[in-house]
């Protein structure tokens, strides 16, 4: 059950596809150590912000639907979360030091979600 005073937000975790492709070329031992460090920091961040997180899920294969038809596409979205916070500013500030931002050229977008 959600607190009616809280607002809902969609959080997009973005990494350019070319950054991910380059990272996959990194020496496996170096990559594993860096990924384990970030995973531990991510777990800590999530624990510290657990009250605001409704869900977090990984993005997958993307299909674009437009008036021209249906086609496979790529975007920079790697994860999505739904969170609750008192304000848009409070929601965004919670992500200022998120471990995801250690990834070169990464970003996090926080979008207010309102009922239609």
pLDDT tens per residue, range 53-73:
999 999 999 999 999 999 999
Separation of first and last alpha carbons in the chain: 20
Q: What is the CATH number of the domain that holds 38?
A: 3.30.70.1060
For residue range 2-51, list pLDDT tens digits in order: 567 899 999 999 999 899 999 999 999 999 999 999 999 999 999 999 99
Q: Is residue 1 included in any domain, yes or no?
A: no
The sign one gets for the Cα dihedral 95, 97, 100, 101 is positive
Which residue reads 């304000």 in tokens? 87
The answer to whether residue 46 is domain-embedded is yes
Residue 48 is predicted with a pLDDT of 97
Beta bridge partners of 81: 11, 56
Number of domains present in the structure of the chain? 1
Residue 31 inside a domain? The answer is yes
CA torsion sign for 31, 37, 41, 47 is positive
- For residue 67, what are the domain limits? 7-113
Query: Is 30 inside any structural domain?
Result: yes
Identify whether 86 is part of a domain: yes
Using a 10 angstrom Cβ sphere, with 0-12 exposed, 13-18 middle and 19 or more buried, the burial of residue 94 is buried
Q: H helices within the chain, ranges in order?
A: 17-24, 28-48, 88-94
Confidence of residue 110 (pLDDT cuts 50, 70, 90): very high
Please indicate, yes or no, if residue 2 is contained in any of the structural domains.
Answer: no
Give the pLDDT score at 116: 87
Q: Please compute the mean of the pLDDT values over residues 64-93 and round it to a whole number.
A: 97
pTM for the complete prediction?
A: 0.89
Q: What is the largest CA-CA distance in the chain?
A: 48
Residue 2 has what pLDDT?
Answer: 54
Question: Is 59 a domain residue?
Answer: yes
Residue 37 domain-assigned (yes or no): yes
Q: How big is the chain by its Cα radius of gyration, in Å? A: 16
């Amino acid at each position: 059950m959600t607190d009616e005073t809280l607002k809902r937000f969609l959080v997009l975790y973005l990494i350019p596809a070319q950054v991910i492709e380059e990272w996959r070329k990194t020496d496996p031992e170096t990559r594993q150590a860096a990924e384990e460090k970030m995973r531990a920091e991510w777990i800590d961040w999530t624990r510290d912000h657990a009250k605001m997180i409704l869900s977090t899920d990984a993005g997958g294969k993307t299909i674009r639907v437009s008036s021209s038809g249906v086609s496979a596409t790529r975007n920079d979205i790697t994860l999505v979360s739904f969170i609750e916070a008192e304000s848009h500013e409070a929601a965004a500030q919670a992500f200022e030091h998120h471990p995801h931002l250690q990834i070169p050229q990464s970003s996090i977008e926080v979008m207010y979600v309102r009922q239609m």
